[in-house]
Structure 1
């Protein structure tokens, strides 16, 4: 088995491609060692002591190094952990489950949405799924919808995209411009 690595726009993150499916549906982000306890793979990566974020996409794993960590030492450790995991065909999540879909719960929403905006929200969701999410996944991350109110779309960047130096530009110039172009009711995009 060969694991490819790709740089991401976030210099602290690398994208690891195991050449096979990682998540069968959805994505999953781990932002602490405690959260990583849900996945033996994420837990092993955090156990290096030099990681602050692990993100599972459809066919990749993004890892964000802690401040001061050197990728020259960390990268071989992460590759070895990934190889061991995928070669052994170990379960991705504790309890043997194959998946851990990360879907925003009601309490993850930043604003209470007006049911009258259902058509606008459906348009936003469609653009996020078809245009934005694939581009963000290409950079080792994902985007989570957190609500729409008074013309403002609330989104959270995940994986390699969270904390990326260009995340503000991605939200304001890329995503906001696209949403405003197709949905006139959208006036702004904010990080949530």
Structure 2
């Protein structure tokens, strides 16, 4: 269900009615009368209100310029309710010729992570069976989606695993300003049948090889126990925060466990606290060894 928010503008005659999703993509429309609005049933309905002078439709908002016969404070709530009802009842906003490609409905929602620079975009559909991390556009050979996302100048890194995408931004951008744009872009990219990750093109790095069963079977018993603990007790919580954790090595002499952090966990300000007060304590307790130390390697 769409929800309409009323936003004032610098022009006292114009009010914006914003929605929480884009209603038109890469186009803007301006209608000055009901005849010009023949391709917009919504705008036509709005012109039946005697105080409506001009209707603008763009991105995620409808802006209306009024005649001076009324004040916005007297009618804006009524207009917002009318727009909201029209759209939620399935009314057509603007008739736009679309290609014949059938879209597959996808739900994408954004989640905060412990890392303020990272936002997690979750899909209701599986995106990949093999995780992929892209530090820059050169790493996107196997992910057409990641390649397109890097065209947004504020995106620094991308991590994709199972049904979520963790995106790290540069400080130049604020999540409040770009979240809706990114969420809509990902949703439309997937819905039109584009490939998120081509797993056949993923380069099998040491990180990937170390996740295979034959590698696990060659490890000592303690290392195998550590991996099982990480996979069963720690990884689900880390993934819920938009990150990933993997076993790297165990030094039995120093009792040092090295783990690889990815996604939202990589470079996260709270990752050191999590390692020492969460993962390390859990390993000490479950392995019955208080000398265990955990060291993180940011992938």
The TM-score bracket by the shorter chain reads: 0.7 to 0.9
Change (3 A) 1:167 1:102: farther
> Aligned-pair distance for 1:101?
8.4
* SS of residue in 1 equivalent to 2:220: helix
Corresponding residue number in structure 2 for 1:9: 114
* SS of residue in 1 equivalent to 2:238: helix
Answer 1 or 2: which has greater helix percent. Answer: 1
* SS of residue in 1 equivalent to 2:266: coil
Contact 2:109 2:122 in 1 (8 A): yes
> Aligned-pair distance for 1:170?
1.1
Structure 1 residue runs without a partner (length 5+): 109-114
C-alpha separation in 2, matches of 1:102 and 1:54: 18
Q: What is the number of residues matched between the two proteins? A: 183
> Aligned-pair distance for 1:134?
0.3
Detail structure 1 runs of 4+ shifted over 2 Å in the superposition: 96-108
Contact 1:54 1:64 in 2 (8 A): yes
Structure 2 residue runs without a partner (length 5+): 1-105, 211-216
Corresponding residue number in structure 1 for 2:127: 22
**Structure number with bigger Rg:** 2
C-alpha separation in 2, matches of 1:73 and 1:100: 32
Contact 2:155 2:167 in 1 (8 A): yes
Q: CA RMSD in A?
A: 2.5
Bigger relative contact order (CA 8 A; separation at least 6)? 1
Contact 2:127 2:162 in 1 (8 A): yes
* SS of residue in 2 equivalent to 1:56: strand
Corresponding residue number in structure 1 for 2:240: 138
Contact 2:190 2:196 in 1 (8 A): no
C-alpha separation in 1, matches of 2:124 and 2:117: 22
Spell out the pairing of 1:112-151 with structure 2 (5 A cutoff): 118-149=220-251, 150-151=254-255
**TM-score, normalized by length of structure 1?**
0.85
